[in-house]
């Protein structure tokens, strides 16, 4: 057990190290940021000074070593655009992304779970068929286009909800949050709904499949035979056993929700990390791009590590690496 | 044994054509799938015939009139050319824009899906056939890649390479090949143990020939299904990337680019610039998914009853 954890841990570290190399080299292959970030009116000497200040005159391996050294100290370099440490720029934006992703997950659960339960319990009703067809649409509809249609319908035509920005925020635990103010919540609804669209379909389908599996089990038949009220059978016997795969998926998908917020944030002008990375790619702000990508790599490697380990803990039949 | 060898191809060819016919019949037995196939065919035809069918060449500046910009659907130009779906900010006909945009979108989807299938299947079959450490390493790589969301992989590649259609295709290939590798390896692992592979090995048929002529054809069904679905995914992904400003160029706009163009007019209520290209995108994706869904049912041996 312990050896598996250690081996997995070493593998995870190795993956992160390899990704530092790939990300750093990859990002440094794109065009010359000097041309974009240095004022073209500057004379040669001033240009050189700026290049030197940004560390762009060093050979690539030197830049990489500096980068690695900085990495161990949580220092990804200074953003070319904001003139502040890249990690700070990202961490500033992180609460906005986190609260949006969390709300989207809650929405996906609140809509997807009951609908999936219903469609699973009564698979032959017409309403169930409608729900299932709707979930296919949720998979097929391009998220960004749905976002635009949300803006068109709810913000432009009906004028019910704002479509841009975070609204007013309040400071709490050292960060600014929108979900604590009425205005902020209003601003969150459209982007969160948009982000939740895909996950709602996913949870819905997963729940339905789970229900159909559980309903056929002996303990459910027994509970019904015992004469328990249907509500109790559904809530205790079915729903409880269903939660394991659903919770796993929620954990798994939270990372991808943060990754997909790139699209939603760009549509709704939501100033989170997703919008930041798109802006930074377009401006060739390399330290921010690198810091963001590394943050995501660490996030996903950690998530996978946790999932692998918990599977081994929960189910001894799962043998990692096929050696056992 | 030897006498049997030349007979084999004929027999299998016969079985093949029979299977194909019943397969096609089963495919079209489902009305929704048949509808999907017809719609898809229509979409492809429209894309191919865009220069003939479209009322206007939206990228020939001579045909554009800035006075015609942002006209609502149903209006027409001063010389009577109808704008069925309205015009955009440069006075381009939306309908013509969609027809031309479909070409880019379909091309990107098709090229990237096929290339990713080639790359992934090669890796998957090799891994399954060779086995040992090589297999372990390749599959770890696949696992690793599949643990990242597609859009993140694509963003990473585009952050390295810069924008443009070719780079988007590359990004999609790099983001998607692993799916094929995993599936084809899974299928190949099962097929590898079967008698016909053993027989081929006993006959000392060279490895590359076994891989290409014996293993590959029998692993093809799931790969075709994934590739079909993947075309839809790639079209959607390309549209998303173009919308984010990382994809197609202005001179060769895809549907995503057209939708993106309408974004700035959305708040003034000029819905048609984004709305109709989106509908075209949706129809294309749904049609492909319907076809792919049915293909999965037809090609899956377990569902044959």
Q: Domains along chain B? A: 30-51+89-299 (1.10.3720.10)
Three-state DSSP state, A323: coil
Q: How far apart (Å, rounded) are the C-alpha atoms in residues A269 and A167?
A: 11
Helices A182-215 and A86-121: angle between axes, nearest 10 degrees: 40
Task: Give the H or E element holding residue A105.
Answer: helix A86-121
Tell which residue, B284, B300, B264, has the closest CA to residue B108. B284
Kindly state whether A48 is in contact with chain B, defined as any CB-CB distance less than 8 angstroms: no
CA B209, B212, B214 angle in degrees (round to 5)? 85
Set of chain B residues whose Cβ sits within 8 Å of the Cβ of A266: 243-244
Beta strands in chain B (DSSP E): 75-76, 82-83
pLDDT of residue A101: 92
Among B149, B232, B245, the residue with its CB nearest the CB of A260 is B149
- pLDDT confidence of residue A103: 92
What is the three-class DSSP state of B124? helix
Residues present in chain B in total: 305
**CA separation for the pair A145, B284 (Å, rounded):** 14
Ranges of beta strands (E only) in B48-142 are 75-76, 82-83
CA B34 from chain centre, in angstroms, equals 19
Where exactly does CATH 1.10.3720.10 map onto chain A? 89-314
Restricting to A residues 104-133, those with a Cβ less than 8 Å away from any Cβ of B are: none
Cα angle for residues A66, A69, A72 (degrees, 5° grid) = 150
Contact A55, A63 (CB under 8 A): yes
CA distance B249 to B242: 8
- Model confidence, pTM: 0.82
Q: In 3-state terms, what secondary structure has residue A2? A: helix
Question: Which residues from B are below 8 Å from A141, CB to CB?
Answer: 282
Mutate to test the interface with A, among B132, B159, B175, B255 (most CBs of A within 10 A): B159
- Tell me the ipTM for this assembly: 0.79
> Mean pLDDT per 10-residue run, chain A (324 residues)?
81 84 72 61 76 74 80 78 86 89 92 89 86 82 86 83 77 75 82 90 88 81 81 78 76 83 89 89 82 87 81 62 42
Of all residues in chain B, the one with the smallest CA distance to A26 is B160
Q: B159 and A155: CB-CB below 8 Å?
A: no
How many CB atoms within 10 Å of residue A36?
14
The CATH number that domain A89-314 falls under is 1.10.3720.10
Q: Are the beta carbons of A26 and B160 separated by less than 8 Å?
A: yes
Q: Residue B116's CB: how many other CB atoms inside 10 A?
A: 25
Beta-carbon contacts of B201 under 8 Å, excluding residues fewer than 6 positions away, are B210
DSSP labels for A122-151?
Answer: STTSHHHHHHHHHHHHHHHS-HHHHHHHHI
**Count of Cβ atoms closer than 10 Å to residue B32 Cβ:** 12
Give me the pLDDT at residue B2, please: 44
CA atoms lying within 13 Å on the CB side of residue A291: 31
**For residue B112, what pLDDT is reported?**
93
Alpha-carbon gap: B80 to the closest alpha carbon of chain A (Å) = 30
Positions in chain B whose pLDDT score sits under 70: 1-20, 61-70, 74, 77-80, 89, 248, 250, 300-305
Find which of B105, B140, B156 to mutate to test the A interface (most A CBs within 10 Å of its CB): B156
How confident is the model at residue A110, as a pLDDT? 92
Residue B7 confidence (pLDDT): 42
**End-to-end Cα, chain A, rounded Å:** 9
The answer to whether the CB atoms of A293 and B148 lie below 8 A apart is: no
Which member of A29, A277, A322 has the closest CB to residue B160? A29
Structural element, H or E, at residue A175? strand A175-177
Which chain A residues touch B156 with a CB distance below 8 Å? 23, 26, 293
The set of residues, in sequence order, having a beta carbon less than 8 Å from that of B36 and lying 6+ positions away, is: B286, B287, B288, B289, B290, B291, B294
Residue A323 has a pLDDT of 41
Alpha carbon of B189: minimum distance to chain A alpha carbons (Å): 15
pLDDT of residue B3: 42
Residue B56 half-sphere exposure, CB side, CA atoms within 13 Å? Answer: 28
């Amino acid at each position: 057990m312990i050896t598996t954890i250690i081996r997995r841990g070493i593998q995870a570290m190795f993956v992160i190290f390899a990704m530092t190399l790939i990300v750093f080299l990859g990002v440094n292959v794109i065009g010359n940021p000097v041309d974009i970030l240095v004022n073209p009116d500057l004379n040669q000497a001033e240009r050189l000074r700026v290049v030197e200040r940004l560390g762009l005159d060093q050979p690539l391996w030197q830049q990489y070593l500096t980068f690695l050294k900085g990495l161990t100290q949580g220092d990804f370099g200074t953003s070319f655009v904001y003139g502040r440490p890249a990690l700070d720029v990202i961490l500033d934006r992180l609460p906005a992304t986190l609260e949006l992703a969390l709300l989207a997950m809650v929405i996906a659960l609140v809509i997807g779970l009951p609908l999936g339960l219903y469609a699973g319990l009564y698979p032959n009703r017409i309403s169930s068929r409608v729900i299932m067809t709707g979930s296919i649409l949720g998979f097929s509809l391009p998220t960004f286009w749905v976002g635009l249609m949300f803006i068109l319908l709810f913000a432009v035509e009906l004028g019910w909800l704002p479509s841009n920005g975070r609204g007013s925020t309040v400071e709490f635990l050292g960060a600014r949050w929108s979900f604590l103010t009425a205005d902020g919540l209003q601003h969150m609804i459209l982007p969160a709904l948009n982000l939740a669209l895909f996950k709602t379909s996913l949870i819905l389908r997963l729940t339905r499949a789970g229900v159909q599996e559980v309903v056929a089990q002996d303990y459910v038949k027994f509970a019904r035979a015992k004469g328990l009220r249907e509500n109790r059978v559904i809530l205790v016997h079915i729903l409880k056993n269903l939660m394991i795969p659903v919770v796993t998926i929620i954990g798994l998908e939270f990372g991808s929700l943060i990754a997909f917020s790139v699209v939603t944030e760009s549509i709704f002008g939501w100033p989170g990390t997703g919008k930041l990375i798109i802006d930074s790619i377009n401006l060739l702000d390399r330290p921010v791009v690198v810091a963001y990508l590394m943050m995501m790599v660490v996030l996903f490697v950690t998530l996978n590590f946790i999932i692998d380990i918990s599977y081994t803990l929960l189910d001894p039949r799962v043998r990692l690496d096929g050696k056992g | 044994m030897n006498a049997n060898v030349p007979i084999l191809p004929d027999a299998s060819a016969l079985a093949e054509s029979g299977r194909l016919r019943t397969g096609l019949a089963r495919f079209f037995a489902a009305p929704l799938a048949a509808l999907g196939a017809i719609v898809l065919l229509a979409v492809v035809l429209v894309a191919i015939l865009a220069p003939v069918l479209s009322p206007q060449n939206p990228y020939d500046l001579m045909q554009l009139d800035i006075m015609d910009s942002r006209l609502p659907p149903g209006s027409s130009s001063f010389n009577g050319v109808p704008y069925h779906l309205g015009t955009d900010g440069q006075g381009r006909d939306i309908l013509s824009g969609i027809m031309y945009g479909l070409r880019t979108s379909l091309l990107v989807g098709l090229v990237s899906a096929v290339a990713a299938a080639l790359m992934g299947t090669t890796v998957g079959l090799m891994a399954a056939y060779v086995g040992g450490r090589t297999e372990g390493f390749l599959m770890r790589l696949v696992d690793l890649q599949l643990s990242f969301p597609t859009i993140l992989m694509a963003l990473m590649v585009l952050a390295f390479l810069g924008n443009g259609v070719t780079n988007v295709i590359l990004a999609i290939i790099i983001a998607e090949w692993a799916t094929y590798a995993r599936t084809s390896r899974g299928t190949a692992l099962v097929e590898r143990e079967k008698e016909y592979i053993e027989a081929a090995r006993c006959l000392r048929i060279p490895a590359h020939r076994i891989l290409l002529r014996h293993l590959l054809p029998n692993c093809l069904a799931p790969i075709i299904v994934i590739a079909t679905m993947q075309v839809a995914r790639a079209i959607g992904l390309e549209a998303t990337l173009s919308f984010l400003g990382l994809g197609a160029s202005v001179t060769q706009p895809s549907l995503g680019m057209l939708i993106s163009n309408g974004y700035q007019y959305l708040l003034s209520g000029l819905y048609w610039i984004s709305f109709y290209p989106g509908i075209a995108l949706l129809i294309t994706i749904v049609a492909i998914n319907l076809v792919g869904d049915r293909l999965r049912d037809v090609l899956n041996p377990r569902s044959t009853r």
